[in-house]
């Protein structure tokens, strides 16, 4: 497989993941995108669709990491994108616990998280941290504009993910906006990865 194809997978992963969860969330009964996390779409009878979405995005990002290892400006950066990909794959393999009242009839927060839910959270955390750090690693560039954009993306991605985590932990100020905050964060992260792929492919 040519390296251009590997790098192109990094451009495709984010848009495909985003389209899939938006379509899935729009048609799910009782699901509130402003409140509920993307991961909750993996629950219920139609949950397989979001599981596949996690796995496919993780696979594309892992292929992208291989392309970065071969032809990217930073081996450390490639490893971090690989860790982000593994986080996505793990989030797909291990389903989240119910949170913020979804699925309908479940409590806002389980008193005792399941082992599978804890593994989902662990893989998600690894992925989020890896992507945030990758933004800073790839900021080491001769282009001031790209460096500033990458640093801003890393800071905003980490900040919004922390706020989303607080919301899903039922922080009263943020709980009703957890889904929205998480979607903002994911958009920041996926946009950065897409532009990184474009930058390496075409500059």
Tell me the whole-structure pTM to 2 decimals. 0.96
pLDDT in tens, 20-54: 999 999 989 999 999 999 999 999 999 999 999 99
Q: What is the pLDDT of residue 166?
A: 97
Domain range list for the chain: 3-202
pLDDT in tens, 165-188: 999 999 999 999 999 999 999 999
Q: What is the pLDDT of residue 203?
A: 80
Spatial distance between the Cα atoms of 186 and 161, rounded to a whole number of angstroms:
8
Spatial distance between the Cα atoms of 199 and 192, rounded to a whole number of angstroms:
10
Secondary structure letter of residue 1 according to DSSP:
-
Q: What is the pLDDT of residue 71?
A: 86
pLDDT in tens, 119-132: 999 999 999 999 99
């Amino acid at each position: 497989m040519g390296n251009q194809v590997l790098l192109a997978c990094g451009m495709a992963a984010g848009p495909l993941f985003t389209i899939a969860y938006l379509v899935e969330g729009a048609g799910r009964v009782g699901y509130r995108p402003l409140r509920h996390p993307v991961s909750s779409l993996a629950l219920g009878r139609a949950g397989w669709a979001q599981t596949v979405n996690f796995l496919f995005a993780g696979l594309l990002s892992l292929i992208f990491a291989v392309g970065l290892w071969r032809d990217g400006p930073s081996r450390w950066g490639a490893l971090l994108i690989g860790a982000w990909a593994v986080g996505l794959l793990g989030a797909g393999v291990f389903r989240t616990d119910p949170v913020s009242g979804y699925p309908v009839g479940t409590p806002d927060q389980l008193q005792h998280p399941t082992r599978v839910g804890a593994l989902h959270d662990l893989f998600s955390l690894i992925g989020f941290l890896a992507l945030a750090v990758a933004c800073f690693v790839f900021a080491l560039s001769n282009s001031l504009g790209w460096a500033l954009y990458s640093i801003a993306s890393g800071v905003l991605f980490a900040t919004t993910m922390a706020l989303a985590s607080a919301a899903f932990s039922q922080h009263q100020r943020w709980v009703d906006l957890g889904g929205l905050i998480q979607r903002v964060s994911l958009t920041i992260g996926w946009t950065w990865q897409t532009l990184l792929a474009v930058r390496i492919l075409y500059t």
